[in-house]
Amino acid sequence: MERQAIVSYQTPSGQTVKIIKHSFLSIRRWPVKRVAFVAGLHGNELEGIYLCHLLTRHLRGLQASQPEAFKGEVHIYPAINPQAIATGNRLWPFFSVDMNRLLGGENGKSLPAQIAGALLDDLKSSANIVVDFHASNLHLNEVPQIRIIDGFHKKLIPLAVHCNTDLVWVHPPSPVFESTLGYNLNRAKVRALIVESGTCLRLNCDFANSLFNGMLNLLYQTGVLVPAEPPPPVEHPLMVQPSQVALLQSAHAGLFVGHTKLRQHVRKGDTLGEVIDPADGGLLQKVTAPETGFLFTLREHPLVYPGSPLARIAIKETDLL
């Protein structure tokens, strides 16, 4: 394994912060493909950082025992926003800047914008396929899923089905995505899968293990990694478009109390939770499933305002290709 700092900078008290890339190179002169895993763009999303740890540990062992298995290259960027990770914050500290909103044009030359630009350049020169790991924000809990912007789906779905996620969600483009890493990689013809799993500041080992198997399978299916023993087969994900997703939102300000668990099939009319008025003990809203389907998002943060998302249900699968 090679370790390299793609960019570094000095802190005011003299330490050097390095954005690290771990590379597992191929035994072949011309690698079959080059796959990169990226985590920690948002400093409070720890699921991907843990997943990078699992991958690095596994690949180190495999490189020691079966170097011939590496037909392609694997690059792991485990912590893109180290100082935000150190404080458990989503945003780049000091400036409250979202590192995943700084790409795709002239967005200033602030330090986080320089780092984001350096990451994009390094990925474009190092990888054909990128997997960018995210967790949800403090508010929601998500089953492992891949989100794909409509228009990129024909190239991405054939890869996404190998990743052992519960769901692949193809959604329409929106201006807000145009400054993200995933969008700009796909625009640059580097196929980028955006994985969303769990909630921030927490680790869900079940989700991480599912995704770990999925990433090994992705490496195997793309011919990058061909070990003596192939990885276990993975489940085919549900494929949905926005019209097949029911979003439940709070109609009131209050506390959401969940009465169900994520990652299960619910029937129309099932109670998912309630929004209560904490001051007078009243029930403000009974939250029930509007359709039968798969519950893939559930509110984690109890505090809600009108419009706050409470749950998402995948109501019907579709053929997206």
Partner 1 sequence: MKETIFSIPAPLSPTANLVKFSWEGMHPKETFSIVAGLHGDQLNSIYLCSQLIQFLDAVAKGIEPGYRLKGRVQVIPAANLLALQEGTRLWSFDDLDMDLTFPGNAQGELAEQIADAVFKHTVDSQYGIVLHTAADHYEDAPHLVCLNPDSVTKDLARSLGPEIARKPEESPAFRLKLYYRWINQGIKAVIVSAGKPHQLNQPLCKTLFSGLVNALLWTGVLTCNQKKPRKHTVEFFDSGCEQLIHAGAAGLFIPMAKPGASLKKGEKVGEVVDLYTGAILDSPVASADGSLVTLRDYPIVYQKEPLAVLLGKRKFRFWPF
Binding site for partner 1 (CB under 8 A): 9-14, 90-91, 94-96, 98, 101-111, 114, 137, 139, 175-176, 178-179, 249, 252-255, 277-279, 303-309
Closer residue to partner 1, CB minimum distance, 25 or 253: 253
Q: Are 295 and 311 contacting, i.e. CB atoms less than 8 angstroms apart?
A: yes
Burial of 290 (0-12, 13-18, 19+ CB in 10 A): middle
Cβ 66 to partner 1 shortest distance, Å: 41
Closer residue to partner 1, CB minimum distance, 176 or 321: 176
Alpha helix positions (H), the chain: 46-65, 82-87, 111-126, 153-160, 181-187, 205-221
Q: Are 273 and 259 contacting, i.e. CB atoms less than 8 angstroms apart?
A: yes
DSSP, collapsed to helix, strand or coil, labels residue 39 as coil
Closer residue to partner 1, CB minimum distance, 74 or 311: 311
Following DSSP, what letter does each residue of 269-289 receive, concatenated? Answer: T-EEEEEE-TTT--EEEEEE-
What single-letter DSSP state applies at residue 12? T
Cβ 141 to partner 1 shortest distance, Å: 16
Closer residue to partner 1, CB minimum distance, 27 or 188: 188
Enumerate residues 6+ apart whose C-beta is below 8 A from 92: 43, 81, 83, 84, 98, 99, 111, 112
Cβ 90 to partner 1 shortest distance, Å: 6
Closer residue to partner 1, CB minimum distance, 123 or 200: 200
CA distances in angstroms from 310 to 92, 251, 257, 259, 299, listed in the order given = 27, 10, 10, 12, 5
Cβ 263 to partner 1 shortest distance, Å: 24
Cβ 249 to partner 1 shortest distance, Å: 7
Give helix 46-65 / helix 205-221 axis angle, nearest 10°.
50
Cβ 284 to partner 1 shortest distance, Å: 10
- Going by C-alpha positions, the residue among 134, 12, 24 that lies closest to residue 75 is 24
- Residue 16 has a CB neighbour count (10 Å cut-off) of 9
Cβ 206 to partner 1 shortest distance, Å: 27
**How far is it, in rounded angstroms, from Cα 314 to Cα 148?**
15
Closer residue to partner 1, CB minimum distance, 173 or 269: 173
**How far is it, in rounded angstroms, from Cα 150 to Cα 186?**
12
Closer residue to partner 1, CB minimum distance, 232 or 307: 307
Cβ 305 to partner 1 shortest distance, Å: 5
Cα angle 190, 198, 212; round to 5: 55
Closer residue to partner 1, CB minimum distance, 25 or 255: 255
